[in-house]
Chains A and B, each alone.
Chain A
Amino acid sequence: MAFSDEQRAALAADAGEIIGRYPKSRSALLPLLHLVQSEEGYVSADGIEFCAGQLGLTEAEVTAVVSFYTMYKRRPVGDYHVGVCTNALCAVMGGDAIFAGLQQHLGVGNDEATADGKVSLEHLECNAACDYAPVMMVNWEFFDDMTPRSARELVDGLRAGAPVAPTRGAPRLCTWREASRILAGFPDDQATLGHTAGHATLAGLRIAKEHGWEPPPAAGSGPAARPGGTHPGGTEGGQH
């Protein structure tokens, strides 16, 4: 579908802001593609034409970039794009079984959406959460320590419109379009909400504390004091 005049005006205003971040305008192409994806749910021919127009590029030049990056979709995905990591470690830990189970449960293949358009499924490469394997992502939020059962319950919840929250992420799960807008550099208001660290993130710190291997309070407030020495004060309103 072609953009309406209103859409085009709004996109152009956002595009101007994005382009302004960079010393050279072409650097804005990746965020601009996230932006048009947030408008239509995927990167359409109109989206490509829009980006090309904003940056003075040809549509072929833009298309060459789109086709290189897996996060840009050339056809609509679901409101909730569900990824299952099937790189080696997650696959072995259960990712393969989870992905196979979801394909069967949803009746879709890789990179396909359910008929109601709610959920699409894709197998992912490593998403930098190996300490929480097997890992799934929904609209690029972390769902950690998954099992075939928890994966089925997750997608059922998404299809039913039930509230679903990531294991480490914002409490309100964004739609695919909303997520794309954040990636374009227009974050929502959830940065201060949600999780800071999960169990695995804190595993080493917890063990260190059990052994009393803690850094001096307010590290950084004075000259070298460790190992084993005292650390001259200087906390700013906090005791730990």
Chain B
Amino acid sequence: MTSVLTPELTARWDEPDSFTRAAYRRDGGYRALPKALAMDPDQLIAMTKDSGLRGRGGAGFPTGLKWGFIPQGDGKPHYLVVNADESEPGACKDMPTMLANPHALIEGIAIACYAIRADKAFIYVRGEVLHVVRRLHHAVDEAYAAGYLGSNILGSGFDLDLVVHAGAGAYICGEETALLDSLEGYRGQPRLKPPFPAVEGLYSCPTVVNNVESIASIPYIINNGAADFAAFGTEKSKGFGIFSLSGHVTTPGQYEAPLGTTLRELLDLSGGIRAGHRLKFWTPGGSSTPLFTEEHLDVPLDYESVAAAGSMLGTRSLQIFDETTCVVRVVLRWIQFYEHESCGKCTPCREGSYWVVQLLDQLERGEGSEADLDKLLDICQNITGRSFCALGDSIESPVKSSIRYFKDEYLEHQRNGGCPFDPVASTLFAGEPA
């Protein structure tokens, strides 16, 4: 039988010491690094391109291509910055990865830095995850002690210094140029592109910014070959990745599977929607991706198929809501989040998010009207494509898709003079004494 799930990155997470260097070595870790150091850096970049690996942080840009953009022989320092700022509502894969197996990330960092000729790397981890930060520091210390980091790594002559840098609470710092500003000690505001970070990134030097899961996938590719990785997944969405199932499901959690897996397959395996309920709407890739409904259960979760169905694969953050959930409440809460996290640099996002919240709030209280829905769509249309970065564009996704699929539910609030849903029914503890 074909494997629906393909645990590779997640394979050893159930071992109690999986986060240690000893366990990672025992399970075959740190074998890719000496192989890579014996190769030509350009060969590594080519191999990463051939694997078809696309950025696992949401945008899906080909990782090898990004590495290939770094100018060589330019006499400037090069940097690798790992984006470990995982903050997209629904995204919850990188934190467990770093908690359970930080060494896969560190081995990937060493290989990536050798490929792009960087001798300094940073892990920019969101600050609100204390034990993850501890584990990263510990793993980095262990890697230095074993000669996987530091000077003359494994006798190759390659030097690498790796710094764990904790953020301080700002969703926008997951945007790569805002992250760089933050890492330089400024407010985390996005930069105008071009120049792209590959040309002018950290300290105006060539910089690769990659997601945790992208980099942690590199050792597998080096060990098993680009073709092996590319044998998983679909034509243009290669390999496997972690799908994060959350919300009204029987078994929420992390499911590693080839790209192109469907939500129906994942639900069939994991016990489906919580007992006695049915699927109402879901996000394929976090709050920034347009909502899907029951009719999308069989959409292959790869970049192309999800886009063709009107959404985005994003971070494979499958947030599942059943029929007890008020879609207006959910969308309002997401837009309040974007309003709160808008960095304020550009007007469409800063002002637009504010006005969208005002309208959604009115609608949720039953004080809106059908004309407000048109106004909402009009404001969203004026944010998308006109804001400085993708945060602004994200505002339209839940608003527009929810009106598309659940317009009558918005109007029902008006007819009802308020929200027609019982919020208790949608809680985890519904039916239990408080």
Contact = CB atoms under 8 A, between A and B. Distances in A.
A82 interface: no
Q: Which of A22, A93, A97, A179: most chain B Cβ within 10 A?
A: A93
Interface in A133-148: 133-134, 137, 139-142, 145, 147-148
A72 B168 contact: yes
Contacts, number: 333
B321 to A, nearest CB: 7
A224 B13 contact: no
Interface stretch (A4-12, A107-115, A156-164, A206-214): A206-214
A89 interface: yes
Interface stretch (B28-36, B64-72, B383-391): B28-36
Contacts of A224: 224-225, 227-228
Contacts of B91: 126, 128, 130
A44 to B, nearest CB: 16
A53 interface: no
A227 B6 CA distance: 10
B340 interface: yes
Nearest to B250: A203
Interface residues of A, number: 102
A106 interface: no
Interface string B102-138: 0000000000000000001000001111110111011
Interface of A is mostly: loop
A33 B182 CA distance: 13
**Is the interface on chain B under 10, 10 to 19, 20 to 34, or 35 or more residues?**
35 or more
B32 A220 contact: yes
A93 B127 contact: no
B60 interface: no
B26 interface: yes
Contacts of B269: 207
Interface of B: 1, 3-8, 10-20, 23, 25-29, 31-32, 77, 86-92, 94-96, 99-100, 120, 126-131, 133-135, 137-138, 163-171, 182-188, 203, 219-220, 223-225, 227-228, 231, 243-248, 251-257, 269-270, 287, 317, 319, 321, 325, 329-331, 333-334, 337, 340-341, 343, 423-424, 426-429, 432-434
